[in-house]
Chain A
Amino acid sequence: MAPNLLPIDYILGIVVFWLALGLAGLVLQRQPRLLAQLLFPAGALGALALAVVTLGALGGGTNVAVLPLGLPDLPFHLRLDALSAFFLLLLGGAVFGISVYGAGYFRTMEGSTLGLLCLEYHLFIASMVLVLLADDAYLFMVAWEAMALSSYFLVTTDHKVPEIRRAGFLYLLIAHVGAIGILLCFGVMQGGQGDYSFATMRQAELSPFWASATFLLALFGFGAKAGLLPLHAWLPEAHPAAPSPVSALMSGVMLKTAIYGLLRVTFDLLGTQLWWWGALTLVLGLMTALYGVLFAAVQSDMKRLLAYSSIENIGIILAGIGLGIIFHAFHQEAVAVLALVAALYHALNHAFFKGLLFLGTGSVLHATGERNLGHLGGLIRRMPWVAVLVLVGTLAIAGLPPFNGFVSEWLLLQAFLLTPALPHPYLNMMIPLGAAAIALAAALAAYAMVKFYGVIFLGQHREEKLLHAHDAGNWERLGLGWMAAACLALGLFPVAVILQLDNVTQLLIGRELGSSAGHAGWLWLTPVAPERASYSPVILFLIILVGLGFTFIAVRKLYHGRLRRGAPWDCGFPAQTPRMQDTAEGFSQPIRQIFEPVFGIIRELPSPFDTHPHYHGETRDRLWNLFYLPIAAVTEKLSGLIGKLQHGRISIYLLYSFITLLALLAFVR
C-alpha cells in the first residue's frame, strides 16, 4: 500500500475502475446475463466506495492532483474540495442505487448491444466525476464534452426509432450551444492571461461589467444543461428517450453537474456577486418551476411527465441559489446560507426521488411494455413491491412530510420569510411573492404526482395485457429500495445532512448553518432560532406511527374487524368498465382549462354528423413556436447566405484567397 493516499487518489482509482468495467463490457458482449449481473453490481460497489470516500472528504479540506495527461505542457489539474465532494457524494449515492437496479434491468437490448451500453454507461459516470473534479477549464471542457457525448449515445440506444434520433439530435445541439456559453465564460474569466487553470481565475479581478458578462454566460451555458427556461426544450425529449436507468442518471445526477458548475463559477471563481444576478436567477428559476410543473401535470407519457417535473425541481433549486446570491450580495450571510443549504439539499433530494421514480417507470415499462398512461392502471395489485417503493418517491416529490422533499422546500420557504432583513425596500416586498410561486408549484406538483401514481398503479387495468404484468426482480427491488430508504432517511434526519452541507457553505460564503440548525440537538431542525421556526420529522413520524397503531387497535378492540367483499358500489351503476376511469388527459383537464393561455392546445373535435367521429387533442410547448422556430429560421437563412459563397469551383476559391491576401497586405502596411 502506497503511503499517504489522498481521497482524490481513491476517487481517480474508482474512475479507472469504471473505465475498466466499461471495456470489460465489450469483452463480455456474448454473455449478456453475466455482463449485467457482474459488471453493474461491481460498478455499484465503486459508486458506494465513492460515496464513502467523499463523505469522509467533505470536512477534510482540499486536495489537488495533477495528471500528466492532455496536451504537452498543459496537464490536467484536479481538485477535490467541499463543493465537489458534496456533488460526488450525491453522484455516488444515486449511482449505487441505479447501477444495482441496472443489474436486473439491462437484459437483452434492442438496437444497441449491451456491451456498448455498458461502456457508454460507465464512461458517462466517469466523465461526470471528472467534471466535478476538474480544476482547469481545459479538463472541465473535455470532461463536459465526454459527458455530453456519452449521454448522447445512451439517449439514442434505441436508435431505430425516428423520434429517438430526433430527440438525440436536439439534445446534442442544445448541449453544444450551452458548451459554447461555458467556454466563452471561461475565456472571459481568464482575463487575457492565457492561463486556464481555475486557480488563476480565482485570483483575477474582473470589472463589474466583465464579471456580469461571465455570470450571464455561465447562467446561459449551465442553464442549457439544467433545463432552465427557455432552454429546456431538449429535456422532455431526451430524458424519456433513454433507457430508464439512464433517464434516472440524467435527471437525477447529470442536471446537478450544471448546478455545480453555476455554483463553482458564481461563488468560487468570481469573487463578488451583484444582487441583480440573484434577482435574475430567482425570477428565471421561479418561472421554470411553474412552467415545468404545469406541463408535467398535462403529460400523458409517464417518463415525459417526470422529465417536466425535473424542470420544475431545477427551477426550485435555481430559485434557492438566486435567493442566496441576493442575500450574499447584501451581506446578509445568515439568510444566504439558509437559501444555499435549501438549494443544495433540494439537489440531493431530487437525485434520489427522481432517480427512484424513473427506475420505477423502468420496471413498469419492462413489465407491460407501455409508457403511455392511457394504457396502464391497477398495477399495485400485480407489482406490489414497485408500487410501495414508488409511493415513497411520489410522496417525497410532492413535498409531503416526513419525506425529504418537504425538508428542502420548508428550508427554502423559511429563507423567503426572512427577506425583511434586506436593506432594499422594493426587493423586500417582491421576494415574498416568490414564496407564493413556490407554494403554488409545490401544490401543483402534488396534483401531477397524484395523477402519475393514481393512473399507473391504482384503479382498474386499462388493457388486458396488464393482467400478466410481473413484479420487479430482486436486483431491481434492491435498487429501488436503496433510493426509497434514502428519501426517508434524508427526510427524517435533516440536521445530520445540514451539518455535512456546512462544509460546502463554509467554502462558498464562509458561513455555516449547523451551529443554529442543530441548536437543540439532532432531533430538532431550527434553521434560525427555536422560537422562530422548528420542525422535527422524527417526532412527527413517530406520532403518526403511534397514532396509527392506537387508532387501529382501538377500532378493532372496541368494535370488530368483520369484512365482506363485494362489487364496487359507484352510486349503484352496474356496468363499470375500466374505460370509465379518468384517463391521464381527463385527470389533467382542469389544469388545461384553467391555464389554457400557457399551453398551445390543438384540438380536433368531431362534428355531430360524423359517422366515424375522430377526436384529437394535443398540448404543445408554446416556446417552441415563439423561441426555437424563429431562431432555427434565422440560422437557416444565414447559412443559406453563407452557402452562396461556396460554389465548388476552384478558380473562385483561388479568387477568394487572392482578395484576402490583398486585403491583409493593405491592413498590415
Chain B
Amino acid sequence: MNPTDIAFQLAQNTLVVLAAPLLMGWVNQCRAWMQNRTGPGILQPYRGLVKLLHKDAVLAHDASPLFRATPYILFVCMWLAASLVPVLAIDLPLAPAVDVIALVGIFALARVFISLAAMDIGTSFGTLGARREMLVAFLAEPAMLMVFFTASLISHSTSLPTIVEALAHKEFVLYPSLAFASVAFLMVLLAENARIPVDNPSTHLELTMIHEAMILEYSARHLALIEWASSIKLMAYVTIGIALFFPWGIAEAGNWAAVPYALFVLVLKLTAAGFGLALLETLSAKMRIFRAPEFLGTAFLLAVLGMLVHFLLEV
C-alpha cells in the first residue's frame, strides 16, 4: 500500500461525500424541467443540509440511544459503500477489505438500523415505514446479490476492482447475461433509493410512503445526516451501475495520468445517468405498495435469468 493509493482513496472519500448532494440536485432539477417547472437549482440539497444543521434538534420524549445513533451509522455505512466503488481508478486500498457480498451486507446493516430506529418511538407511521422498508429489502437484496453474482461469474471474482478490471479492460465482448442483470439492477436501484415507481421521495402521503415514514421523527442534524446519507446512497448505486455496466474510461491500475480523463468521463456519465433517472421517474407512476413485490420479484427473476443465461451462452 503506497502513499499515492492512500491519498487517492482519501480524495475519493471526500469527493463522494461532497458531490453526492449535487447528483441529487441534478436529478431533481431535471425532473422539474421535465414537469415544466423552473426548479430550485441544482445546489438546493446543500442549502437544505445547511439549514437542517443549523436548527435545534427536537427529539421525542422517550427516544432511545439507538434512535440517536442511527443517523451516524447510516451516514458512515453509505459513505463507506460509496468510497469502495472504483469509479475513477482501479487502485483503491480499502477495496480488498470489502467485496461485493460485504457491500450488500453494509447496505443491509444500514437498512436494519434505520428500520429499528423507525420502530423506536412507537408511532404508527414509524412501524409502518419499517415494515414496508423490510418488505422492499427482502426482495431487492437477493436481486442485487444475483446481479453481483452474474458479474462475478464472468470475472471469476467477487472483488469489485477485479470485476471492473475484467469488464473494462479485456477485449470487448457482449455479455447477454449482463443485459438481464442491468435491467434487474436498475429496478433494484429505483426501489432501494425510494424512487418512483416504488416510493416517492417528495410526498408525505401516508398510503404510499416508505422511506419518509421511517424518518418522520427525525429533525435538524439527525435529519441532515439521513438526507445526506440518502444522496450518498444514490451516488453509490449509480456509480456501482456505471462500474458494472459502463466501465469504459476508468483508469487502469497504476495509470495515474488517466485519472483526469476518467473524472471527465465520470461527470458525463453521472450527468447522463441523472437525466435518465429523472426521465424514468417522470414517465412512470407510483405503484400501489402491494405491486412492489411483483416489481421486485421481476427484478429477482431477471437477475437469476441473467445467471442462467451466463451458463447457457457464455461458458
Contacts and interface: CB of A to CB of B under 8 A. Distances in A.
Interface of A: 377-378, 380-381, 391, 395, 398-401, 406, 410, 413-414, 417, 420, 428-429, 432-433, 435-436, 439-440, 442-444, 446-447, 449-451, 453-455, 458-460, 524, 530-536, 539-540, 543-544, 547-548, 551-552, 555, 558-560, 562-571, 573, 576, 578, 580-582, 586-587, 589-591, 593-594
Nearest to B96: A534
B119 to A, nearest CB: 4
B146 interface: yes
Nearest to B128: A582
- Pick the 9 closest A-B CB pairs, nearest first: A459-B122, A460-B122, A547-B76, A454-B119, A582-B127, A439-B142, A536-B97, A570-B123, A443-B138
Given A400-B108, A564-B57, A440 B101 contact: no
Contacts of A543: 80, 94, 97
B211 interface: no
Contacts of A455: 119
Given A540-B102, A568-B60, A531 B157 contact: yes
B261 interface: no
A396 B77 CA distance: 17
Contact of A530 (B61, B96, B108, B111): B96
A567 B138 CA distance: 32
Contact of B134 (A450, A551, A573): A450
A458 B122 contact: yes
Interface in B100-114: 101-102, 105-106, 108-109, 111-112
Contacts of A587: 127, 130-131
A429 B311 contact: yes
A399 B105 contact: yes
B158 A420 contact: no
Contacts of A590: 131-132, 135, 290, 293
B127 A581 contact: yes
B175 interface: no
B15 to A, nearest CB: 16
A548 B60 contact: no
Nearest to B224: A555
Contacts of B300: 436, 440
B315 interface: yes
Contacts of B102: 401, 406, 410, 535, 540
Given A458-B122, A562-B57, A533 B112 contact: no
A536 B93 CA distance: 12
Given A420-B315, A571-B216, 15 more contacts: A401-B106, A410-B102, A432-B149, A432-B153, A443-B108, A460-B62, A460-B122, A534-B97, A540-B102, A544-B73, A558-B53, A559-B53, A565-B58, A569-B217, A590-B290
B199 to A, nearest CB: 15
Interface string B204-246: 1010000000001100010001000000000000000000000
B304 interface: yes
Contacts of B282: none
B125 interface: yes
Contacts of A417: 149, 152-153, 158
B221 A555 contact: yes
B116 A458 contact: yes
Interface in B130-183: 130-132, 134-135, 137-139, 141-142, 145-146, 149, 152-153, 156-159, 162
A488 B157 CA distance: 27
A406 B105 contact: yes
20 contacts: A420-B153, A429-B312, A440-B142, A443-B137, A443-B142, A444-B138, A446-B138, A449-B112, A450-B112, A458-B66, A459-B120, A533-B101, A539-B97, A544-B76, A547-B76, A548-B76, A551-B225, A565-B59, A570-B124, A570-B125
Contact of B157 (A429, A446, A532): A532
B282 to A, nearest CB: 27
Contacts of B109: 395, 400-401
Contact of A552 (B72, B106, B206): B72
B60 A563 contact: no
Nearest to B53: A559
A308 B304 CA distance: 27
A568 B61 CA distance: 7
B265 interface: no
Most B CB contacts (10 A, CB to CB) among A378, A458, A560 go to A458
A380 B66 contact: yes
B59 A578 contact: no
Contact of A436 (B137, B146, B158): B146
Nearest to A293: B138
B40 to A, nearest CB: 23
A567 B106 contact: no
A156 B37 CA distance: 70
B98 A447 contact: no
Task: Tell me if A's interface is mostly helix, strand, loop or mixed.
Answer: helix
B123 A581 contact: yes
Contacts of A449: 112
Contacts of A451: 134
B99 A566 contact: no
A262 B167 CA distance: 42
Contact of A540 (B97, B121, B311): B97
B75 interface: yes
Nearest to B66: A380
B75 A381 contact: no
Given A414-B158, A447-B138, A571-B206, A432 B56 contact: no
A442 B138 CA distance: 8
B64 interface: yes
A524 B127 CA distance: 39
A533 B124 contact: no
Contacts of B142: 436, 439-440, 442-443
Contacts of A420: 153, 311, 315
Contacts of B29: none
B272 interface: no
A458 B116 CA distance: 8
B260 to A, nearest CB: 27
A509 B152 CA distance: 28
Given A433-B304, A458-B120, A532-B157, A559 B127 contact: no
A395 B112 contact: yes
Interface in B30-55: 53-54
Most A CB contacts (10 A, CB to CB) among B101, B120, B225 go to B101
A555 B76 CA distance: 13
B6 interface: no
Interface in B276-310: 290, 293, 300, 304, 307-308
Contacts of A558: 53
Contacts of B311: 420, 428-429, 432
Contacts of B73: 544, 548
B79 interface: yes
Contacts of B217: 568-570
Contact of B225 (A378, A429, A432, A555): A555
B200 interface: no
Most A CB contacts (10 A, CB to CB) among B59, B64, B134 go to B134
A533 B57 contact: no
A435 B311 CA distance: 15
A455 B130 CA distance: 11
B28 interface: no
A389 to B, nearest CB: 13
A564 B101 contact: no
B12 interface: no
A444 B159 CA distance: 25
B304 to A, nearest CB: 5
A217 B61 CA distance: 59
Most B CB contacts (10 A, CB to CB) among A450, A558, A573 go to A450
A466 B160 CA distance: 48
Nearest to A576: B123
A57 B165 CA distance: 45
A562 B221 CA distance: 10
A423 to B, nearest CB: 13
Nearest to A583: B127
